[in-house]
Amino acid sequence: MLARKVRLSGALGTGLACSLLISCGGGGGDGGGGSGGEAPSSSEVARLECKVADAATGSAVANAAVNFQAKSNTYITQTNADGYCRMDMPAAEVIGVQYPAGTVTKTGYEPQTILCEALRAGKSCYQEVSMNPLLPSISIPVGGDTVMHLGDDLFEGSANSQFQKPSDGVELVFPIADWADKVALPNVTKATVYLDAKGWQSDICKNLISISGDVGTQSLRGGVSPAEGYWAGGRQVPFVFSVAQIGVLNAELRITSGNCNDTTDFDDFEINRIRVEFG
């Protein structure tokens, strides 16, 4: 498909990728304790570790769910009482991708992306994750807290177009379950969608992000991720929707992969950490 160069290495590459998100961490966990930093005992295993804290208080966040979407499996664990998590995964499931991403979630908090430069056999990726308390004005669409891959899975190059999981389809729908409650808040006239994205090329592909409700549908052109293959987005890339055009009873968010350069080729990209802010 479309070439997406992702050739960066070392601390500089990680810093640049992280700087494009509101914040980034690193992750994994088996829910158990143990000290961080010990490399996996087997070269067939790649490890994620994280330390999760409340962004407002700095205190450890226990029992947060850690989710990593790999090539053929989903890996899930929880943080322990110290906010520590560890996840050992088969190396063949996770290696070969630049900037693989996981998610940390817990009720009462916004989901957060976990970002490593790479996962390697016999090595450990450790990151600290800061989670923002969930404000009454913010909604998390159902399924929006998981890494999802959109597209036709037709992309080429081992160093380009790197994605950590197969495609989930060319169009995905995320219900906004509390839409009616949120738009009933005082002075709410708009809903702004934020998400993290990798490989999104809406400048040359007809990708759409839409919200459909009881009144109608409003669609906007999708975003454009850095050509180097970094994750980006967050609050730097808002998609602003009008509540009046959508309705007040119910709504769902729809993200669509479009064809590129007027060909039959559909854009392949991954998304994570979808939030809708009402204001």
pLDDT tens digits along 70-88: 999 999 999 999 999 999 9
Contact (CB, 8 A) for 199 and 46: no
Mean pLDDT of 139-159: 85
Contacts of 231 (CB under 8 A, 6+ apart): 17, 20, 21, 24, 99, 101, 113, 115, 196, 197, 198, 225, 272
Residue-wise pLDDT for 88-97, tens only, equals: 999 999 998 8
* Least confidently predicted of 22-31, 33-42, 43-52: 22-31
pLDDT of res. 39: 63
pLDDT of res. 18: 42
* Least confidently predicted of 27-36, 49-58, 186-195: 27-36
Structural domains of the chain sorted by starting position, each given as residue range(s) with its CATH number in brackets: 10-131 (2.60.40.1120), 138-278 (2.60.120)
* Least confidently predicted of 25-34, 68-77, 130-139, 213-222: 25-34
Contacts of 214 (CB under 8 A, 6+ apart): 246, 247, 248, 249, 250, 251
pLDDT of res. 174: 98
* Least confidently predicted of 13-17, 52-56, 112-116: 13-17
Mean pLDDT of 198-208: 94
- How is residue 236 written in tokens? 């730097």
Contact (CB, 8 A) for 67 and 103: yes
Return d(Cα 215, Cα 243) in angstroms, integer. Answer: 9
